[in-house]
A and B are shown apart, each in its own frame.
Chain A
Amino acid sequence: MINRILNSSFFSILTVLIFLTVFWYGASVHLNSDVLIDKYERKKVEWDFSKLVNDSWSMKRPIMPAPHQIFFDMKKSIFDQKITSKRSLVYHSWVTISSTLVGFAMGSFLGILLAVGIVHVPTLNKSVLPWIIASQTIPILALAPMIIVVLGAFGITGLLPKAIISAYLCFFPIAIGMVKGLRSPDLMHLDLMKTYNATKTQIFWKLRRPASVPFLFASFKVSIAISLVGAIVGELPAGARAGLGARLLTGSYYGQTVQIWSALLVASLLAGMLVFLMTFLESSVKKRMGSEI
């Protein structure tokens, strides 16, 4: 019984979380103490260590907020606001998530399309693949503002430019994974299709496509998280008014570190949720395809 608890993933996650929290509280005192001590000395306040600890965990604009400050800020901005309010993190999350999902859909479509082309057309294999790889060497932080500015010049603003940045980031792992997946059937499987005199289309639908599914899901899991990063990055340069990226930006303008951290935490929770959903989808698809697991 005890062994089972010790071996469960819940327990190991909990252990890491406890260590992280303890470390965090310590780091919070350490990083905030300089500012506080400076203040005490200027105002000639009597202080001891316990006062320092207490104060460093309850500063208004700490360098490193304590976990409970972030927690209460998250609670305030998630549960205590109407979700349509601009102060609600649910509202901002939704703005980011919607462009994440649109971008992911666009990127998946593009990635799969490219992969199908690359596998079937030898010229594409030689000409497109190097460009795809080159496209990913440009830092997205440099590219994002330009995409937004150029699209803005055409009157395209709001969700679409952010989705395009997401798509730009996430099509790559999908294209690469899918090329590998579509090429995964071995020679005997292809020979078998040849003995049936199967057409290229039949080989694609009956052999290559199902064979690529595990590869596709591996790529999806990477891509969905990258999509979220893309959407947030897309919110930074244009001074967007809504979205987690905007929250990060306003937080840093006004030195609201607690707000930054809670937006960050929400972003990572969202990423975790998206990956979890994808894993769930993967296992149900694999189950339908007769996988052992």
Chain B
Amino acid sequence: MSSNFPVVDAKKVDLVFQTADTPIHALSEIDLEIKKGDFVSLIGPSGCGKTTLMRVIADLEKPTGGEIKVNGMSPEEARLKRAYGYVFQAPVLYPWRTVEGNLKLPLEIMGIGKIEQIKRAKDALAMVDLLGFEKKFPWQLSGGMQQRVSIARALTFNPDLLLMDEPFGALDEIVRDQLNEHFHNLWEQTQKTVVFVTHSIPEAAYLSTKIVVMSPRPGKIIDIISSPLPDKRTLEMRDTQEFLELSQRIRVGLRGGKSYD
């Protein structure tokens, strides 16, 4: 049913934060359509509203103008139906729960049976390649592993839409490359729709089918690029002419928006 609608459909979305001194125009006239199975990266410098836009999709912020639909519903209805899994910048794991306990958290809240919980936790863990770490506590894992657990947690309840806010931002480049490759494969297998916030041009170019370039003050979209790369990607692809041209276009877009002023 939901395939009849775009997963995200934003029309002239505006968001103004009222602060003590001056209002901040976080989002201005955002028009964006995300189709099922898309991998959309939101890229731009700090303060361009990419995280805010994602929080609007997730109903963690309310827009002050325009219209936005998620699966054909209001973001709130979509959130109440648990339409998406959200991955934060930090792993946000509960230190008092084991890896398995953390994965079960959303399932407990959604009232899923105990046996099913264990099975799903195991499946999700297999997807991020962390089987055998069920009984470990978060502090016993590296930063990259913790972030994989947090991705697995978003996969446990099998949402069609994944919202990821710079999930690999705090990791070093080597781990980041590994996770990018791994996550790309995961996306290929599951065919989920992904919205992905990032600072990194190579990350956006490597992962996305669609790249949304944004600029700050007020936060707006300045370019939407459909990736010319094939759906199946490898890390080696980053040295090809096509990839470099794509990166170049993103960079020009960012500069055109005077992002690096």
Contacts and interface: CB of A to CB of B under 8 A. Distances in A.
Interface of A: 188-189, 191-198, 202, 206-207, 210, 213, 289-292
A202 B109 contact: yes
B86 interface: yes
Given A196-B106, A290-B96, A188 B139 contact: no
A207 B137 CA distance: 16
Contacts of A291: 95-96
Residue with the greatest number of chain B CB neighbours at <10 A, chosen from A191, A196, A210, A289: A196
Given A191-B60, A290-B137, A292-B139, A196 B109 contact: yes
B60 A189 contact: no
B110 interface: yes
Contact of A210 (B94, B138, B139): B94
Interface stretch (B76-84, B181-189, B239-247): B76-84
9 closest A-B pairs by beta carbon, nearest first, are A290-B137, A289-B96, A195-B86, A196-B109, A198-B109, A210-B96, A188-B92, A196-B106, A188-B88
B79 A197 contact: yes
B82 A192 contact: no
Instruction: Identify which of B80, B97, B105 gathers the most chain A CB atoms within 10 Å of its CB.
Output: B105
Contact of B105 (A191, A197, A206): A206
Interface residues of B, number: 25
Interface string B88-123: 111010111110000001101110000000000000
Contacts of B58: 195
A207 B108 CA distance: 13
Given A195-B86, A290-B98, A291-B95, 5 more contacts: A195-B84, A196-B105, A198-B109, A206-B109, A290-B97
B60 A195 contact: yes
Most-contacted residue by chain A among B84, B86, B98 (CB, 10 A): B86
B88 A192 contact: yes
Contacts of A213: 96
A196 B97 CA distance: 17
Contact of A206 (B80, B88, B108): B108
Given A195-B60, A195-B84, A196-B110, A188 B90 contact: yes
